[in-house]
């Protein structure tokens, strides 16, 4: 049965549980570049997963959410940012703005309202997208949201290191899970300043934030501060005592999928109430 959300927006609903649909789709962008993505139609609002800095659409959480959405008949989309997987471009060329544009292009390509589930850097990007496309985003779920992470990481460096980065135009940022450092350009560091979010963040939809209290990369205080600075009054924070930054273990996935289920229920209930 179509949800109240689908009826309100006039979208048809088609269910699919065909997990054999594995051929990636290609979304051509106006500038000649393209994005690799998978989209499974289903009940609305759908779920769009936004990966973290070094993650792809084939990561543990992305695949686990696909399995969950297929099993429940909910629409689901996962994708690779430019520079990742088979998407065009190179990873070190990305900016915060380009990642936001990638998500906006994906949302333009798929029908209906979508809940954004952003992991780490994806949590920052989902906020920027929700501010630009509020009519299509009925809710957000942030997983270890790395809000303003570029400034936070850069400001923690010694002054000598900052000077070297500025003069060379290159920052080899250490990463916890990879042998090679992640390369950030000086231009990217400067561009990130344009997208920093601090006080009175103009996001008014329901927001659910999940964070591990043992996160060494993005302290859980960031999610608490974010909750206080969002304009939305419908914000909940879930802290996982022994959770690390990845939050990709079985119990973590259960927490995420349970949060999706409850958020969808809240959104549909609110939408039905508004139509009475």
Q: At what angle do helices 121-132 and 96-109 cross, to 10 degrees?
A: 60
Whether 12 is catalytic is no
d(CA 246, CA 50): 14
* Cβ density class 194-206: b for 16+ within 10 Å, e for less: ebebeeebebebb
- Residue position matching structure tokens 């380009």: 98
Whether 120 is catalytic is yes
What phi, psi does 136 have (nearest 5°)?
A: -110, -5
d(CA 154, CA 233): 32
- Count of residues for the chain? 276
Residue of 119, 245, 248, 271 with catalytic role: 245
Residue of 102, 215, 252, 271 with catalytic role: 215
Structure tokens at 4: 């109240």
CB 110 within 8 A of CB 77: yes
Residue of 55, 87, 119, 120 with catalytic role: 120
CB 33 within 8 A of CB 101: no
d(CA 129, CA 141): 13
Question: What is 150-193 written as a DSSP string?
Answer: HHHHHHTS-HHHHHHHHHHTEEEE--SS-SSPEEEEHHHHHHHG
Active site residues: 120, 215, 245
């Amino acid at each position: 049965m179509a949800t109240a959300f689908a009826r309100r927006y006039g979208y048809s609903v088609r269910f699919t549980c065909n997990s054999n649909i594995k051929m990636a789709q290609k979304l051509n962008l106006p500038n000649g570049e393209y994005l690799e993505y998978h989209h499974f139609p289903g009940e609305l609002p759908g779920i769009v997963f936004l990966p973290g800095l070094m993650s792809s659409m084939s990561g543990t959480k992305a695949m686990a959410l696909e399995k969950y959405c297929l099993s429940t008949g909910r629409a689901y989309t996962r994708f690779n940012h430019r520079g990742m997987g088979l998407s065009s471009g190179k990873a070190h060329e990305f900016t915060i703005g380009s990642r936001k544009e990638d998500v906006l292009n994906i949302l333009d390509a798929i029908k209906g309202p979508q809940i954004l589930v952003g992991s780490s850097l994806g949590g920052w990007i989902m906020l920027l997208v929700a501010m630009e496309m509020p009519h299509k985003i009925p809710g957000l779920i942030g997983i270890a949201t790395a809000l303003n992470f570029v400034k936070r990481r850069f400001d923690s460096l010694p002054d000598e290191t900052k000077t070297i980065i500025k003069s060379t135009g290159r920052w080899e940022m250490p990463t916890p899970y990879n042998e090679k450092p992640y390369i950030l350009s000086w231009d990217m560091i400067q561009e990130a300043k344009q997208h920093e979010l601090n006080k009175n963040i103009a996001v008014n939809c329901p927001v659910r934030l999940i964070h591990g209290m043992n996160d060494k990369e993005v302290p859980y205080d960031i999610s608490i501060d974010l909750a206080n600075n969002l304009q939305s009054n419908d914000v909940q924070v879930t802290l996982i005592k022994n959770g690390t930054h990845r939050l990709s273990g079985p119990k973590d996935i259960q927490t995420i999928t349970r949060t999706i289920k409850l958020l969808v229920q809240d959104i549909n209930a609110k939408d039905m109430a508004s139509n009475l």
